[in-house]
């Protein structure tokens, strides 16, 4: 919290500044991104971000506070492009690459994008109908030629979603750790990627774990060895792991601990459950009494008026009413917007 406040007050909240800090410090030569057979140290990530930023600025005339829609599948360049845009004060809007037609057009328009960078792998999604509805918006496909021109060098979750981008990449990034990216989730290749990159932590959403336990055991075709537990993963981090899947998943794949969290993109808090045994298995976590004492007025759970589909308000005071522990209600968060703050993107 203190670190974030310090960065905000110094107008250094943009993640590019953090990359610059790491890339010029003791972790400069530490690997920051792994993707398939490619790896990037933090110093290389920084150099690539500068090249991408210069390329986007000179080729497309992007200006600070512009928004660029990224309709891209997972790759190392997805992250490097984000840093490149941040380096010139431009904001990336991450688009679900499965979207087509009106849904795709709606998201791009809602983001007020001035440019859309699309992946050639999903070119069929950006058909003539989409182009017609987005007429006036420049759409560029990020081909290998475009990447090589921008770079001028020889180099489990979709990154457009906050779970992978924020809970996954940004946490690894802040810790100066290594983040391994998979192109797409597949039960056939997931554990192969885990072993290839020597991962010690994996990220999931609940259904991911269910798909993995539904798949056939991975057997070495030469030795006949069961490979399900042949990895170095010690922790699975994610949310939505069902109680009936939790134990089976841990047992089958030999996962020592599960870190289950509950949060939302539009909120500022969350609950955590670091589970190593069956005591808290299946729970999403609970904050302690001291935290509740300090924060109870910041995010109360209040009664709901089902007729008006809004929080219930006391007729006498007009205030919401907090429910007792264990009762059903709506979770509210108090936000305080800083006025006239000149901070950059």
Residues 6+ apart with CB under 8 A from 8: 341, 343
Averaged over 111-131, what is the pLDDT? 93
Residue 320: DSSP 8-state: B
Query: Which CATH number goes with the domain that contains 124?
Result: 3.40.50.980
Paired tokens of 189: 């290749």
Reported as half-sphere exposure (CB side, CA atoms, 13 A), residue 322 has a value of 10
Q: What is the pLDDT of residue 150?
A: 54
Paired tokens of 249: 């998943």
Averaged over 113-141, what is the pLDDT? 93
Indicate the pLDDT class of residue 185, thresholds 50, 70 and 90: confident
Q: What is the pLDDT of residue 155?
A: 28
Residues 282 and 304 in one domain: no
Could you give the number of structural domains in the chain?
A: 3
- Phi/psi for 270 (5° steps) reads -175, 175
**Structural domain contains residue 189:** yes
Residues 243 and 204 in one domain: yes
Residues 77 and 96 in one domain: yes
Residues 100 and 193 in one domain: no
Nearest alpha carbon to residue 160 among 221, 116, 102, 126: 116
Paired tokens of 83: 């840093």
Q: What is the pLDDT of residue 119?
A: 92
Most confident range (mean pLDDT) of 90-104, 130-144, 178-192, 194-208 is: 90-104
Find the radius of gyration of the CA atoms of the chain.
Answer: 23
Q: Give the Cβ contact number of residue 163 at 10 Å.
A: 20
Query: Domain containing 195: what range?
Result: 185-286
Q: What is the pLDDT of residue 153?
A: 37
Tens of pLDDT along 61-106? Answer: 999 999 999 999 999 999 999 999 999 999 999 999 999 999 999 9
Helices (H) and strands (E) counted in the chain, each on its own, are: 13, 15
Tens of pLDDT along 224-280? Answer: 899 999 999 999 999 888 888 999 999 999 999 999 988 776 666 777 888 888 888
CA–CA distance, 12 with 125 (Å, rounded to integer): 37
Nearest alpha carbon to residue 77 among 139, 20, 127, 121: 121
Tens of pLDDT along 291-309? Answer: 777 777 777 889 999 888 8
């Amino acid at each position: 919290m203190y670190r974030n406040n310090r960065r905000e007050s110094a107008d250094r909240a943009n993640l590019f500044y953090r990359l610059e800090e790491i890339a010029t410090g003791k972790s400069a030569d530490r690997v920051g991104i792994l993707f398939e057979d490619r790896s990037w140290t933090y110093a290389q990530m920084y150099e690539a971000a500068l090249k991408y930023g210069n390329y986007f600025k000179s080729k497309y005339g992007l200006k600070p506070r512009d928004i660029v829609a990224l309709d891209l599948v997972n790759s190392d360049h997805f992250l490097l492009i984000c840093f490149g845009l941040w380096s010139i004060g431009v904001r990336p809007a991450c688009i679900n690459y499965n979207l087509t037609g009106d849904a795709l057009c709606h998201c791009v328009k809602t983001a007020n994008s001035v440019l859309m960078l699309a992946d050639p792998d999903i070119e069929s999604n950006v058909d003539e109908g989409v182009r017609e509805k987005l007429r006036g918006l420049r759409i560029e496909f990020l081909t290998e030629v475009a990447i090589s021109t921008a770079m001028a060098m020889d180099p489990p979750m979709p990154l457009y979603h906050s779970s992978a981008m924020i809970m996954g990449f940004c946490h690894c990034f802040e810790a100066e750790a290594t983040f391994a990216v998979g192109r797409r989730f597949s039960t056939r290749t997931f554990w192969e990627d885990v072993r290839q990159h020597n991962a010690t932590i994996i990220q999931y959403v609940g259904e991911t774990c269910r798909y993995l336990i539904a798949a056939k055991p991975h057997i070495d075709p030469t030795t006949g060895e069961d490979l399900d537990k042949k990895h170095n993963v010690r922790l699975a981090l994610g949310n939505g792991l069902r109680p009936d899947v939790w134990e089976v998943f841990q047992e089958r794949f030999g996962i020592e601990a599960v870190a289950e969290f509950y949060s939302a993109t539009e909120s500022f808090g969350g609950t955590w459950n670091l589970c190593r045994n069956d005591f808290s298995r299946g729970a999403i976590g609970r904050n302690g009494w001291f935290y509740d004492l300090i924060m109870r007025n910041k995010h109360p759970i209040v009664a709901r008026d089902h007729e008006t589909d809004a929080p219930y308000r006391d007729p006498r005071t007009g205030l919401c009413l907090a429910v007792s522990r264990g009762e059903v209600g709506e979770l509210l968060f108090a936000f305080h917007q800083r006025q006239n703050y000149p901070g950059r993107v």
